[in-house]
Structure 1
Amino acid sequence: MWPHHPSRKEVLRFAVSCRVLTLILQVLTRFLGSSTPIVYWFPAHLLQDQEPLLKSLELVHQKPPVGDSPPGHKVPRNPIMELLYNWKACSLVTRYILGYFLTYWLLGLLLHCNFLPWT
């Protein structure tokens, strides 16, 4: 048996304070993520400085899509996809950075779709 049964006021106060805290954290995270490019510049800087695979990626010849593109048109590859395809050849720093962003994306996808607090 509980020594103290919380009153409705206490339960309501606790629920409201938890929700307000959750809202503040979500809004702050969204503001920081959308208005502060340094959060993305720093990992990009680390990737450019410390990943040898990025230095070796070049434009490749691909068949142009249907249209007016000249033959031999160069199409740039997506460097992030190249890093993901060559995961085992990447440096440790690159693996940590890619792992962080992939984990953040997957957690956000799972939690937000289930109406759990995530930004």
Structure 2
Amino acid sequence: MWPLDPSQKEVLRFAISCRVLTLVLQVLTRFLGSSTPIVYWFPAHLLQDQEPLLRSLETVPWKPHAGDPPPGQKVPRNSIMGLLCNWKTCSLLTRCILGYFLTYWLLGLLLHCNFLPWT
């Protein structure tokens, strides 16, 4: 290898250490995110306890979808879609939790497709 002056060696050492740190952080967060359901249980517990729209879904028995919904009312098949459709009536806690997960998903989609470090 060609002779490197001390400043080039420092830059190379810094670049390698940054890459290793990024790689380790990505792998750790992927392992924790995929193997630890507590990360998802806690927000689900908060939503189940704090959100009145989810509590109203528990008291109303689910009926099969027969035709069109009544005018002006959306009938969600998924409770998360129901929360997203009724965004303005949700509590602040619900909007923060949903906003966090939507932002995380969108940033991950954009950055990962562009080969940027994102987990």
Range into which the TM-score falls when normalised by the shorter chain: 0.7 to 0.9
Is the 1:47–1:94 Cα contact (8 Å) retained in structure 2? yes
Q: Give the secondary-structure state (helix, strand or coil) at the position aligned to 2:81.
A: helix
Return the structure number with greater relative CO, CA threshold 8 A, min gap 6. Answer: 2
* More helix, by proportion: 2
**TM-score w.r.t. structure 2 length?**
0.81
Equivalent in the alignment of 1:60: 63
Equivalent in the alignment of 1:43: 43
Query: Where in structure 1 do 4 or more consecutive aligned residues deviate above 6 Å?
Result: none
**CA–CA distance in structure 2, aligned partners of residues 6 and 15 of structure 1:** 14
Query: Can you give the 5+ residue segments of structure 1 that lack an aligned partner in the other structure?
Result: 65-75
* Larger deviation, residues 93-102 vs 51-60: 51-60
The offset of 1:62, in angstroms, is: 1.1
**CA–CA distance in structure 2, aligned partners of residues 112 and 85 of structure 1:** 27
Q: Give the secondary-structure state (helix, strand or coil) at the position aligned to 2:83.
A: helix
**CA–CA distance in structure 2, aligned partners of residues 36 and 113 of structure 1:** 25
The offset of 1:9, in angstroms, is: 1.5
Equivalent in the alignment of 1:82: 82
Equivalent in the alignment of 2:105: 105
**CA–CA distance in structure 2, aligned partners of residues 107 and 54 of structure 1:** 27
**CA–CA distance in structure 2, aligned partners of residues 6 and 105 of structure 1:** 42
**CA–CA distance in structure 2, aligned partners of residues 80 and 117 of structure 1:** 28
Identity %: 83
Tell me, yes or no, if structure 1 residue 22 matches structure 2 residue 25. Answer: no
State how many pairs are aligned.
104
- RMSD across aligned positions (CA): 1.8
Query: Can you give the 5+ residue segments of structure 2 that lack an aligned partner in the other structure?
Result: 68-75
**TM-score w.r.t. structure 1 length?**
0.81
**CA–CA distance in structure 2, aligned partners of residues 63 and 13 of structure 1:** 65
